[in-house]
């Protein structure tokens, strides 16, 4: 993590308070039953997200830094540890939905207890600003996961409940972004600088390094739901020659016939959203597809997925605001304009790059070193952020990563080709 210098300390503490408040706001529409649901092993109950992010601050900031600190409940160290082997044993991830106790009110009381302790430690100058910064970024990750996990849980309910009430979706007048942008090849500087004042980066985004990137073209917009519907109609899910071997096996085994949450009705395709089930927007980016589906579509379209270096080269030139959590739309929006659009927000974009260390990467020491480096195996990189990514969490160098068969995140694709 980069280290905010002293002048940024007050700003950082303000961000901490803001982020902690937003997590509670995101959970506010949920009942205790809603917050206890775990719809699949990859997802976690909202109640667990609330407890785990609090455990993170208690375990890594308060216990080591505050003399005489008394933990809220010793059993929470077992319940809310995620994957930190060096910290100790933990409750099995697939069984988090069995935690009917502690109740939601108990977890909220835990949050309040730790927030008060953080405030007191701040007044005494006891907080490690590196760890505050990491804790903020960690909680923002879980804000996004809380929303994607509750969407998956609600999608299993035949009543198709809405997390937020349906709302009119603003319609723009500019044409949808179409066509290609060309980029000259050459030496590019990839990754984030270490130790940049006032900036937060994860260790896997460093070190900054030089890389040769051949000339390439990138689609101006992400692939849309309408374009994906044509892929379906053309037999994309029934044509093995389009698919990687592992992808075909995954698609056949899980009987994929459309993106996750899509359902065919007499009126056409509908999809589950955080605002309830709605008709697909043919001009908005397709979401909830796996890397395997993205790669198959790219083959069908006569193109390919961009490398993460290509994506970063383009994003560095077009760093513009996007449709993220801050817009409160909670659904991908139509990407409009004459130039490249939607690189930030709407959907995480699968790349052709495996999640591997950059040249010279070294994991942090101690338990914090388990944060990213241990996952650099069997996963693919996504870039750009989504419609439920916190706005302060999105940046050009951010490397998200998931296994290639995962679909419950807001993941989509943007095509690339050689120039």
CATH number at residue 287: 3.90.1580.10
- Maximal C-alpha separation, the chain: 66
Query: Would you say residue 165 lies in a domain?
Result: no
Q: What is the pLDDT of residue 224?
A: 97
Q: What is the pLDDT of residue 240?
A: 98
Give percent of the chain with pLDDT exceeding 90: 82
- With a cut of 50, list the residues of the chain below it in pLDDT: 1-5, 7, 197-198
User: 141 and 207, same structural domain?
Assistant: no
Residues 186, 149, single domain; the answer is no
Look up the domain containing 291 and give its range.
Answer: 180-418
Same domain, yes or no: 203 and 276? yes
Q: Is 264 exposed, middle or buried (0-12, 13-18, 19+ CB in 10 A)?
A: exposed
**Do both 144 and 203 map to the same domain?**
no
**Number of domains present in the structure of the chain:** 2
Q: Is residue 246 part of a domain?
A: yes
Q: Which residues contact 44 (CB under 8 A, 6 or more apart)?
A: 38, 52, 93, 96, 145, 149
- Domain-located, residue 175: no
β-bridge pairing 268-273 and 276-279: antiparallel
Q: Is residue 37 part of a domain?
A: yes
pLDDT of res. 5: 45
Q: Residue 164 domain-assigned?
A: no
DSSP summary character for residue 176: B
151 and 185 belong to one structural domain:
no
- 136 and 189, same domain (yes or no): no
Q: Are residues 152 and 184 in the same domain?
A: no
Q: Output the pLDDT for position 3.
A: 42
The helix/strand/coil state of 17 is helix
Tell whether 345 and 387 lie within a shared domain: yes
Same domain, 81 and 201: no
Last residue within a domain, chosen from 89, 122, 156:
156
Cα 415 to the chain's mean position, in Å?
Answer: 20
Both 96 and 144 in one domain: the answer is yes
Q: Is residue 168 part of a domain?
A: no
In a domain, 67, yes or no: yes
- Ramachandran class of 41: left when φ > 0, alpha when ψ lies in -120 to 50, beta otherwise: alpha
Q: Same structural domain for residues 268 and 131? A: no
Say yes or no: 212 and 120 in one domain. Answer: no
Quote the pLDDT of residue 261. Answer: 98
């Amino acid at each position: 993590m980069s280290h905010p210098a002293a002048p940024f300390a007050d700003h950082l503490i303000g961000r901490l308070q803001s982020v902690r408040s937003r997590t509670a706001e995101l959970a506010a529409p949920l009942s205790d039953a809603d917050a206890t649901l775990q719809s699949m092993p990859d997802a976690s109950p909202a109640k667990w997200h609330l407890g785990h992010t609090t455990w993170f601050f208690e375990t890594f900031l308060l216990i080591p830094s505050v003399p005489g600190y008394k933990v809220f409940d010793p059993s929470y160290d077992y319940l809310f540890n995620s994957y930190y082997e060096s910290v100790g044993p933990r409750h099995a991830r697939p069984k988090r939905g069995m935690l009917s106790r502690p109740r939601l009110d108990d977890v909220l009381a835990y949050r309040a207890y730790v927030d008060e302790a953080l405030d007191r430690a701040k007044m005494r100058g006891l907080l490690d600003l590196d760890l505050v910064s990491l804790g903020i970024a960690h909680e923002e990750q879980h804000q996004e996961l809380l929303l994607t996990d509750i969407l998956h849980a609600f999608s299993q309910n035949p009543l198709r409940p809405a997390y937020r009430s349906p709302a009119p979706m603003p319609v723009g007048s500019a044409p949808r972004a179409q066509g290609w942008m060309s980029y000259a090849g050459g030496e590019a500087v990839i990754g984030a600088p270490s130790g940049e004042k006032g900036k937060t980066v994860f260790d896997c985004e460093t070190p900054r390094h030089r890389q040769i990137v051949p000339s390439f073209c990138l689609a101006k917009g992400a692939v849309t739901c309408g374009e994906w519907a044509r892929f379906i109609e053309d037999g994309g899910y029934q044509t093995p020659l389009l698919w990687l071997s592992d992808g075909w096996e995954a698609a056949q085994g899980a009987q994929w016939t459309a993106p996750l949450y899509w359902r065919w009705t007499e009126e056409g395709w509908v999809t589950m959203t955080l605002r309830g089930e709605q008709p697909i927007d043919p001009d908005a980016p397709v979401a909830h597809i796996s890397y395997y589906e993205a790669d198959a579509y790219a083959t069908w379209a006569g193109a390919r997925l961009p490398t993460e270096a290509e994506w970063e080269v383009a994003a560095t030139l077009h760093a513009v605001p996007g449709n993220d959590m801050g817009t409160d739309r909670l659904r991908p929006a139509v990407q409009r304009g004459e130039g490249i659009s939607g690189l930030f927000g709407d959907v995480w974009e699968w790349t052709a790059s495996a999640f591997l260390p950059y040249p010279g990467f070294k994991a942090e020491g101690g338990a914090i070193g388990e944060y990213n480096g241990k996952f650099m195996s069997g996963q693919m990189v996504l870039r750009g952020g989504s419609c439920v990514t916190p706005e302060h969490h999105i940046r050009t160098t951010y490397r998200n990563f998931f296994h290639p068969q995962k679909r419950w995140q807001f993941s989509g694709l943007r095509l690339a080709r050689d120039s």
